[in-house]
């Protein structure tokens, strides 16, 4: 079919207007990243005929660009956690995640995720995803060794130890360098191929097809400049990623993050899955939230430093996860003209050899006064902050922000300050955390909270486990996309048709 009218995601096509189906399948999946791959594997394993449509010329999406750290635990612990001497508890994992996201958390998704996390680990390893029985003990954003287990969130940082016992749950694939994402997607892509899924590359889903009862019965896909009608008898699963590459949507839905941050993701992160869902009445949730980061470590030695605003005041415990620091800096210090990371020579360490931050040195000083002058801070402000910080740090205390003793030591002359102000050099990456409202099963809900028959979604097209950068831990997104992708595939494959 060659339509002269522009097909738009917000205008679903009516099946009554269709006189020819180009493809007839059980389950149509949109997007071949982590969520789409796992949905396809499960739907095929459940006996469904599956057609998978991907706009790029290869599988991968943002999942392949990622480090593919995967957040898993509970249930006594994964084999890796156990081998590394940790016994994880499901309720402890749940308590931690609740503390991370507060009222924004989706309790049903959290529970499903935590209770089945060990099963998910075993499912992944069953497909051949390799995890080494080892722990990376250093504070890192990602493991550059092939070690597996690491703390990837705020588990050990105040106030989280008050809510849950700290346990590392980030699982890094057994591969050297930052290559987890490509390896994960290679394994998932092979598993999809092994199951005889019909994969259509360079095929962009444009809009959903609904029948007279408003049920989703298919999807319109553009292939080779032609629009084809795909009938999906059991349902359509939207796994098309988030919307960080769609400036208009970010401005509209997440304006706080429309401030010069760097979107990270694949070019297909344009929100098309969310728009298609909205086109058939789906509700969205958490659209105003994004992951954002100030990646000031490595080197981990910078954690001994202090972050200050333009009044020379600290505002956070610097041992938090980089996403929590980025969020806090962006939101709570929004009116501060400058953000500095103040450290000493030992803390500066290997910054010039190994860093993702990109911040310039804003000032140095043999005395606090000298540094204060170079940074144009109010007279005496940094002196007050640093004197107090150092006095307490010498005793292993941080009464103001409760940085853990592990990262406390007096900052000593000569001093150096890095300019972490947004727009003055440092890297502030972001991607979106809002999307379609869905059940753990992948069923998409309308604005009345009812299931839209025939429509499923997973991954960053939905609002899943991670709800804010403040509570985020690396691994929650790939973990969520792969786990809930599986459930969506299982549910769609079982639907009566």
Ligand X SMILES: Cc1cc2nc3c(=O)[nH]c(=O)nc-3n(C[C@H](O)[C@H](O)[C@H](O)COP(=O)(O)OP(=O)(O)OC[C@H]3O[C@@H](n4cnc5c(N)ncnc54)[C@H](O)[C@@H]3O)c2cc1C
Site residues, ligand X (CB under 6 A): 30-36, 53-56, 60-63, 65-69, 204-205, 239-241, 264-266, 268, 272, 459-460, 474-479, 481
Which of 30/386 has CB closer to ligand X?
A: 30
Q: Minimal distance in Å, beta carbon 76 to ligand X?
A: 23
Using DSSP bridges, classify how beta strands 50-53 and 198-200 pair: parallel, antiparallel or unpaired. parallel
Q: Minimal distance in Å, beta carbon 157 to ligand X?
A: 19
Q: Which two tokens stand for residue 169?
A: 């749950």
Q: Minimal distance in Å, beta carbon 9 to ligand X?
A: 8
Of 251, 143, 212, 198, nearest to 475 by C-alpha is 143
Q: Minimal distance in Å, beta carbon 121 to ligand X?
A: 14
Q: Minimal distance in Å, beta carbon 299 to ligand X?
A: 20
Q: Minimal distance in Å, beta carbon 28 to ligand X?
A: 10
Which of 52/283 has CB closer to ligand X?
A: 52
Q: Which residue is nearest to ligand X (CB)?
A: 33
How far, rounded to the nearest angstrom, does the alpha carbon of residue 72 sit from its chain's CA centroid?
A: 14
Query: Where would I find the H helices in 339-448?
Result: 345-348, 368-374, 381-393
What does the alpha-carbon distance between residue 171 and residue 111 come to, in Å, rounded to a whole number? 19
What does the alpha-carbon distance between residue 322 and residue 298 come to, in Å, rounded to a whole number? 10
What does the alpha-carbon distance between residue 417 and residue 297 come to, in Å, rounded to a whole number? 15
Q: Minimal distance in Å, beta carbon 325 to ligand X?
A: 17
Contacts of 75 (CB under 8 A, 6+ apart): 88, 90, 115, 117, 118, 119
Which of 305/466 has CB closer to ligand X?
A: 466
Give me the DSSP letters along 141-208: SS-SSS--EE--SSTTSTTGGGTS-----EE--S-SSS-HHHHHHHHHHHHHHHTT-EEESSEEEEEE
Say what the alpha-carbon torsion angle 359, 365, 368, 372 is, to the nearest 10 degrees: -60
Q: Minimal distance in Å, beta carbon 144 to ligand X?
A: 12
Which of 34/434 has CB closer to ligand X?
A: 34
Which of 310/480 has CB closer to ligand X?
A: 480
Which of 70/371 has CB closer to ligand X?
A: 70
Which of 39/308 has CB closer to ligand X?
A: 39
End-to-end Cα distance, the chain: 25
Which of 37/157 has CB closer to ligand X?
A: 37
How far, rounded to the nearest angstrom, does the alpha carbon of residue 197 sit from its chain's CA centroid?
A: 27
What does the alpha-carbon distance between residue 355 and residue 368 come to, in Å, rounded to a whole number? 25
- Strands (DSSP E) contained in 224-325 are 226-238, 262-263, 284-285, 290-292, 306-308
Which of 273/349 has CB closer to ligand X?
A: 273
For residue 443, the cross-strand partners are 456
């Amino acid at each position: 079919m060659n339509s002269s009218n522009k097909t738009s995601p917000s205008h679903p096509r009516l099946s009554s207007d269709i006189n020819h189906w180009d493809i007839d399948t059980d389950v149509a999946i949109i997007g071949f990243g982590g969520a789409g791959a796992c949905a396809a594997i499960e739907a095929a394993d459940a006996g469904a005929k599956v057609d998978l449509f991907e706009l790029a010329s290869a599988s991968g999406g943002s999942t392949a660009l990622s480090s593919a750290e995967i957040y898993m635990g509970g249930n006594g612990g994964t084999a890796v956690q156990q081998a590394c001497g940790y016994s994880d508890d499901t309720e402890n994992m749940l308590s931690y995640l609740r503390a991370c996201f507060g009222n924004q958390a989706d309790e049903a998704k959290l529970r499903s995720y935590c209770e089945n996390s060990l099963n998910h680990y075993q499912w992944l390893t069953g497909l051949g995803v390799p995890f080494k029985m080892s722990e990376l003990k250093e504070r890192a954003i990602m493991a550059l060794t092939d070690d597996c287990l690491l703390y990837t969130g705020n588990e050990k940082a105040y106030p989280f130890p008050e809510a849950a016992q700290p346990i590392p749950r980030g699982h890094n694939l057994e591969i050297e360098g930052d290559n987890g994402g490509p390896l994960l997607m290679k394994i998932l892509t092979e598993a999809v191929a092994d199951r005889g899924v019909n994969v259509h590359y360079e095929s962009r889903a444009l809009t959903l097809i609904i029948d007279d009862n408003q049920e989703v019965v298919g999807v319109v896909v553009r292939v080779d400049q032609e629009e084809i009608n795909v009938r999906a008898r059991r349902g359509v699963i939207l796994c098309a990623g988030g919307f960080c590459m769609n400036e208009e949507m970010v401005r509209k839905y997440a304006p706080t993050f429309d401030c010069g941050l760097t979107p990270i993701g694949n070019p297909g992160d344009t929100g098309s899955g969310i728009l298609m869902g909205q086109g058939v009445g789906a509700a969205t949730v958490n659209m105003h939230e994004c992951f954002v980061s100030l990646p000031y470590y490595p080197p981990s030695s910078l954690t001994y430093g202090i972050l200050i605003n333009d009044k020379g005041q600290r505002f956070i415990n610097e041992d938090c996860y980089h996403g929590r620091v980025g969020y806090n800096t962006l939101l709570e210090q929004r009116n501060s003209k400058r953000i500095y990371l103040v450290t000493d020579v030992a803390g500066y360490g290997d910054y010039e050899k190994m860093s993702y931050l990109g911040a310039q040195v804003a000032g140095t000083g043999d005395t606090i006064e000298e540094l204060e002058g170079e940074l144009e801070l109010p007279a005496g402000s940094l002196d007050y902050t640093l004197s107090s910080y150092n006095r307490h740090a010498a005793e292993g205390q941080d009464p103001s922000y409760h940085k853990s003793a592990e990262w406390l030591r007096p900052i000593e002359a000569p001093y150096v300050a890095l300019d972490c102000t947004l727009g003055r050099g440092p890297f502030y990456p972001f991607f979106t955390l809002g999307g379609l409202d869905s059940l753990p099963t992948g069923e998409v809900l309308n604005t009345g909270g009812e299931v839209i028959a025939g429509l499923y979604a997973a991954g960053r097209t939905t609002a899943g486990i991670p709800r804010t950068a403040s509570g985020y831990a690396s691994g929650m997104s790939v973990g969520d996309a792969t786990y809930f992708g599986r459930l969506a595939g299982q549910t769609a494959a079982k639907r009566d048709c």
